[in-house]
Amino acid sequence: MLTKRLHFTSLLATFAVIGLAGCPATHTAPPDADADAAIDAGPPVVTGSQPLASACLADSDCSTGFCADGVCCDSACRDQCYSCAQTVAVGHCGPQTDGPDSNSSVPCVGSNACFRDQATHLSTCKAVDGATCNSDQDCGSGHCTPYYLDADGDGYGTAVTAKFCAELDGQAPAGYSAYTGDCCDLDSGANPGFDSTTFLEFPDACGSFDWNCNGVVAPQHTSGCGSAGPTACGAPCVINFGFGTVTAYTQACN
């Protein structure tokens, strides 16, 4: 009887092992597709409650999700010479108006400022008046003008030129003139504007008596000095009367 009971117990153990071998050891839950998608998408975008054109400090302040140039904007507005803070359309990203007082979030550098092209209505960085240039296209005013070096400040320059952006008939940059013809840029009295009816007894700072820069030195007294010929510029006309000499005049020229 004991032998049969042991045999029966062994058969039960064998069937139990076979049954367990046919079942998986662990069970895993199916992947959560929604969770994976959330991870791939990154953190959610948080927008604020400030409406379009309201003052802001960050994108998260605005209902539009864009804070540009200190206001809630309809776009990121990060292009040079474009602004969202223009008084004509606050909150709208548009071309910056003309002038050096640009409020674009990407300002121009150096002597450049935002200028709007009247034909294309687009704004680009161009040189302001008074800045050096090479062509009309460089300038916001559209005029790259040659000026003449005027070291003595008399309003007349030499043949040395430089180009500057300027309005037509605008004021010349410091140290330059719109007019040339100065024959002595060391002396503000010697220039083409000198009164040709005035004669001086001394030369200009360049050592010339051509005060009016016309290329001709004209003496005031053209007749001879006594029996002598014409007197040189700046020289005295001394007449000997036998009993003594008299200085009649000192030759002046222009």
- pLDDT given for residue 98 in this prediction: 56
Residue boundaries of the structural domains of the chain: 47-126, 129-182, 189-254
Task: Please determine, for residue 9, whether its predicted confidence score (pLDDT) is greater than 80.
Answer: no
Q: Residue 253 gets which letter from DSSP?
A: B
Q: Tell how far CA 188 is from the center of its chain.
A: 33
The full length of the chain comes to 254
- pLDDT given for residue 68 in this prediction: 92
- pLDDT given for residue 10 in this prediction: 44
Mean pLDDT along residues 123-148: 93
- pLDDT given for residue 52 in this prediction: 95
- pLDDT given for residue 102 in this prediction: 52
For 13-42, what is each residue's pLDDT tens digit?
333 333 434 434 444 444 454 545 444 554
The token pair at 239 is 């007449």
- pLDDT given for residue 94 in this prediction: 87
Mean pLDDT along residues 81-86: 88
For 175-208, what is each residue's pLDDT tens digit?
999 999 999 999 999 999 999 999 999 999 999 9
- pLDDT given for residue 62 in this prediction: 96
Helix (H, G, I), strand (E, B) or coil at 21: helix
The token pair at 35 is 């969770």
- pLDDT given for residue 86 in this prediction: 85
Q: Tell how far CA 18 is from the center of its chain.
A: 88
Distance CA 209, CA 215 (A): 10
Other Cβ atoms closer than 10 A to 250: 16
Distance CA 193, CA 75 (A): 59
Task: Please determine, for residue 214, whether its predicted confidence score (pLDDT) is greater than 50.
Answer: yes
Q: Tell how far CA 63 is from the center of its chain.
A: 35
The token pair at 98 is 């003309």
Bridge partners (DSSP) listed for residue 112:
127
Q: What is the mean pLDDT of the chain?
A: 81
Distance CA 102, CA 109 (A): 11
Bridge partners (DSSP) listed for residue 123:
116
Secondary-structure percent of the chain, ordered helix, strand, coil, rounded to 5: 15, 20, 65
Other Cβ atoms closer than 10 A to 21: 7
Distance CA 152, CA 213 (A): 15
Strands annotated E in 69-184: 71-72, 82-83, 94-95, 112-116, 123-127, 144-149, 161-165, 176-177
Bridge partners (DSSP) listed for residue 94:
83
Task: Please determine, for residue 69, whether its predicted confidence score (pLDDT) is greater than 60.
Answer: yes
- pLDDT given for residue 28 in this prediction: 47
| Lowest-confidence segment of 1-5, 173-177, 238-242 by average pLDDT | 1-5
Distance CA 118, CA 141 (A): 11
- pLDDT given for residue 18 in this prediction: 34
Task: Please determine, for residue 220, whether its predicted confidence score (pLDDT) is greater than 60.
Answer: yes
- pLDDT given for residue 168 in this prediction: 85
